[in-house]
Amino acid sequence: MTTPTSTDSGSVLQAREVSKSVPMPGQPLQILNAINLSVNKAESLAIVGESGSGKSTLLGLLAGLDVPSSGSIALMGNNLETMNEDQRAKVRAAHVGFVFQSFQLLANLSALENVMLPLEIGNVPNADTKAQDILYRVGLEKRIHHYPSQLSGGEQQRVALARAFVAKPDILFADEPTGNLDTKTGASIADQLFELNATEDTTLILVTHDIKLALRCNRTITMNAGQLQSDLSNS
């Protein structure tokens, strides 16, 4: 069992003995086994490991996109494993931003409309102005009325990043945020991630195969065969 590195007193996210298995013919497939983890406010954490090590599964559980088979996860004081999907969705809407590797933009909405969407769902006033402001911050002031099909991969990822940050989440989860991008564009996206993380005081948790990106985080945890193999400070 791995002991959490961060102190619980300042943590915004705590995982205790978290395991995940899925039914399979013969016997269940164990994806995660007894993960313990604590993450502090405004911290940046990288999750690394080989393909199939359980990184993305853990990220989804921590964000409340799924529930563990056993163990507990507290996100901003909310015990996710005791909630139904609607309740977890409300917690995500209040506290979480998520950047997907595949962008997950709505094709029939412009860049501006994609970024406005979480604000409109939350009935946040001046959604259009706030969405424009953050699109300007990620360098898309000339592309706000373009649709995803009219944008490059890097531009789509910047729209996804703007959408994740526009509601000023307490925690931003990013799954391979530079995985589909060329080196130059990936570096630009990484710079924007850490800039927004610093200026908004948002906790950043990302899954990546990019060691250089991982080393920019405060901490790196390494997954191996569904277990937390190491938890190291990068300072």
Strand order of the β-sheet with 11-22 is: 29-40, 11-22, 70-75, 78-79
β-bridge partners, 219: 45, 233
d(CA 41, CA 168): 13
d(CA 124, CA 91): 16
The Cα-based distances of 74 to 5, 125, 161, 198, 203 in angstroms read 16, 29, 24, 23, 15
The per-residue pLDDT for 9 is 52
Q: Looking at residue 57, what DSSP letter applies? A: H
Give the relative orientation of helices 153-165 and 183-200 as an angle to the nearest 10 degrees.
Answer: 10
pTM confidence score? 0.87
What is the tens place of the pLDDT at every residue in 77-128?
Answer: 999 999 999 999 999 988 999 888 788 899 999 999 999 998 998 888 999 9
**Range 8-233 classified under CATH 3.40.50.300:** yes
Q: Where are the domains of the chain?
A: 8-233
Indicate if the alpha-carbon torsion angle 193, 166, 78, 65 is positive or negative: negative
The per-residue pLDDT for 221 is 96
For the chain, helix, strand, coil in percent to 5 are: 35, 30, 35
Contacts of 193 (CB under 8 A, 6+ apart): 99, 161, 172, 174, 177, 204, 206
Strand order of the β-sheet with 96-99 is: 96-99, 171-175, 203-207, 44-49, 219-224, 227-233
Mean pLDDT per block of 10 residues along the chain (235 residues) reads 45 96 89 96 94 93 94 96 93 90 90 94 90 90 95 90 89 88 82 84 92 93 94 85
Looking only at the bridges linking them, the beta strands covering 96-99 and 78-79 are unpaired
Tell which residue, 63, 56, 117, 109, has the closest CA to residue 85: 63
The per-residue pLDDT for 216 is 93
The per-residue pLDDT for 197 is 83
∠ Cα 144 127 13 (to 5°) = 100
